[in-house]
Chains A and B, each alone.
Chain A
Amino acid sequence: MSLVTDSPVHSSSSDGFAAYLDAELDSDSSDVSPEQEAEDDEQEAEDESDSEYKRVKRQKVEEFESIEEHPGSTSDGSLGQNLEVTVTKDTCTHPGVFRELCIRCGQKMEGGSGVAFGYIHKDLRLGSDEIARLRDTDLKNLLRHKKLYLVLDLDHTLLNSTRLLDITPEELYLKNQTDPLQGGLKGNLFMLNTMHMLTKLRPYVHTFLKEASKMFEMYIYTMGERSYALEMAKLLDPERVYFSSRVISQADCTQRHQKGLDVVLGQESAVLILDDTESVWQKHKDNLILMERYHFFASSCRQFGFNCKSLSELKSDESEPDGALATVLKVLQRIHSMFFDLELGDDFSGRDVRQVVKRVRKEVLKGCKIVFSRVFPTRFQAENHHLWRMAEQLGATCATELDPSVSHVVSTDAGTEKSRWALQEKKFLVHPGWIEAANYFWQKKPEENFPVNQKKNQ
């Protein structure tokens, strides 16, 4: 491909120049026109008189300066040829494709293969080997900085949104409070007129992100649309310091209605997930830390079938110092410090954060022995009930029969035999909500707060 011959020094009229360009483009830069070949030969003859060493050196210099320095020479044309040959010679594995071009050798690649990474660039696809390689190098890098990955869900985890259409009359006062200068909601409530949405950030979210960013490389992963996800990322992270381009939305998912870590460039053994929906993470339940859903708006409560007044209607909100985000931050800090525990040596690469999560979870109800009463339907395999499994994951021992070692009786009805036994023996008698609360808050909650209602069933 001879580029230099097109320089203005040679062409007297632009007509001939255009014609030359056309001819050049037709040849499509891969095959050499006869005229050009002749010129190349001349150049080579000249070069042969030089020593071999000089020639190599000169070619390298020409690579950068020939355009300015040798307007008449075509030697860099032949150089271009040489380069093409070397590129095709070493077999490229085509690690990824950008706009149908291999990202390593620049060759045209037909047909899309590999996983699309639309959130990084809309036309980027990577092969599985390349993903593994990137994850590997990235993990080493991250562990050196003592960081892990954290994947965050948006709706009901970090914030709550509602359409303007769905606002109830009791919530109308909110519309006047979206001005961040007004005290009440301290810039946590946003009106997005272009999207017809009202968004409320969860209390404590700013502190949460700030603290978490010291321990984690954070991703946003939402089932919402991309435009919505980016808008929310802007609200959460106006200076783009936490997430940068790591915002994954529905369109990036490889499976419908499922979130997967395959599009996250992080080793699964170092990823933690915060989400309020367990079912979308079928393949990565061990990485998941389940969050209590945040319902601020009435429409969101209705959507999940609650008929009570929403926080917005009560003009109240989650507590900032004791809310779900503050609680989970403490858990994250604990997991982080356990993962990077220096007493176990300073090689972190073999560790698995999923094991750490399991260990931390097991300590929550450690030492409790639980008997259930009128919680499971009759003839239901007790061991398979989600509360039973939840209690076991939290470190409690579950039993079906009463004995003196039992510490808690979980019941929906104070009138059953087991409940009465608990009262008699001064054991804790608690509502099933006690286990669920322990699951969300990662700590044993005071048993007094979960009394079993006696009058209801008598």
Chain B
Amino acid sequence: MFFHIVLERNMQLHPRHFGRHLRDNLVAKLVKDVEGTCSGRHGFVVAITGIENVGKGLIRDGTGFVTFPVKYQCVVFRPFKGEILEAVVTMVNKMGFFAEAGPVQIFVSNHLIPDDMEFQSGDMPNYTTSDGSVKIQKDSEVRLKIIGTRVDATEIFCIGTIKDDFLGVINDPVTS
């Protein structure tokens, strides 16, 4: 689920960046440092949308670096137990399949794949129903429900299921 929230961060800036473009430099550094990172508390920072305010700088002893407390608005993404997500399948094997929803990796074990879908090995491993109408393979898009999450300092992993009504393949891979 996405949230638009305000976060705060202390930014250290080298004195050479001081001048007319101080604020620009500060924002550029913030974007570079923060976007794409993951915190266990808020999830992945997807994008910074604005700066609320930049506090008073504090000169560090010895180095000359200055620390600015910056408050910024950003969009974060954090998966929750019970949430429905759409994800792209990245790997299919006997044990189930791995999928990705943006930066989040999700594993769906074959216990949680409907019983009428069977694993087919070969050069393009996949799970297929007996009549062949539904097929999950690499690059398929699936709708799944998250049943467990594990949030590390830098990564989020989920266990998902497609063994429920309205879950499963929503798009076959684009063949170009």
Contacts and interface: CB of A to CB of B under 8 A. Distances in A.
- Is B truly associated with A? yes
Interface of A: 1, 3, 6, 8, 14-15, 17-18, 21, 25, 29, 60, 63-64, 67, 76, 79-80, 83-84, 87, 95-96, 98-108, 117, 120-121, 123-124, 126, 134, 137-138, 141-142, 217, 239-242, 244-245, 265
Contacts of B91: 121, 245
Interface of B: 1, 3-7, 41-42, 73, 80-84, 91, 93-96, 98, 107, 109, 111-112, 118-121, 123, 125, 143, 145-150, 157-159, 164-166
Contact of A244 (B112, B118, B123, B157): B123
B80 A29 contact: yes
Given A83-B82, A96-B109, A17 B166 contact: no
Contacts of B84: 63-64, 67
Nearest to B4: A14
A91 B1 CA distance: 29
B150 A84 contact: no
Nearest to B147: A106
A99 B151 CA distance: 10
Given A60-B165, A96-B109, A104-B109, A126 B95 contact: yes
B6 A141 contact: no
A121 B4 contact: no
B159 A106 contact: yes
Q: Is the interface of B mostly helix, strand, loop or mixed?
A: strand
A134 B6 CA distance: 47
A79 B73 CA distance: 31
B30 to A, nearest CB: 17
A217 B147 CA distance: 33
Q: Which are the 3 A-B pairs with shortest beta-carbon distances?
A: A106-B148, A106-B147, A241-B123
Contact of B94 (A64, A134, A239): A134
Contacts of A141: 118-121
A104 B82 contact: no
Given A3-B80, A3-B83, A217-B121, A100 B94 contact: no
B5 A120 contact: no
A233 to B, nearest CB: 14
A138 B94 contact: yes
A95 B1 contact: no
A141 B83 CA distance: 33
B147 A240 contact: no
A43 to B, nearest CB: 16
B41 A25 contact: yes
Given A67-B84, A103-B109, 18 more contacts: A3-B1, A3-B80, A3-B83, A6-B1, A8-B4, A14-B4, A18-B6, A29-B80, A63-B145, A79-B82, A84-B82, A98-B107, A99-B150, A106-B146, A108-B148, A239-B123, A244-B93, A245-B93
A17 B159 contact: no
Nearest to A213: B123
A448 B6 CA distance: 88
B113 to A, nearest CB: 11
Contacts of B96: 103
Contacts of A87: 147
A121 B94 CA distance: 12
A84 B81 contact: yes
Contacts of A121: 91, 98, 107
A441 to B, nearest CB: 31
A163 B96 CA distance: 39
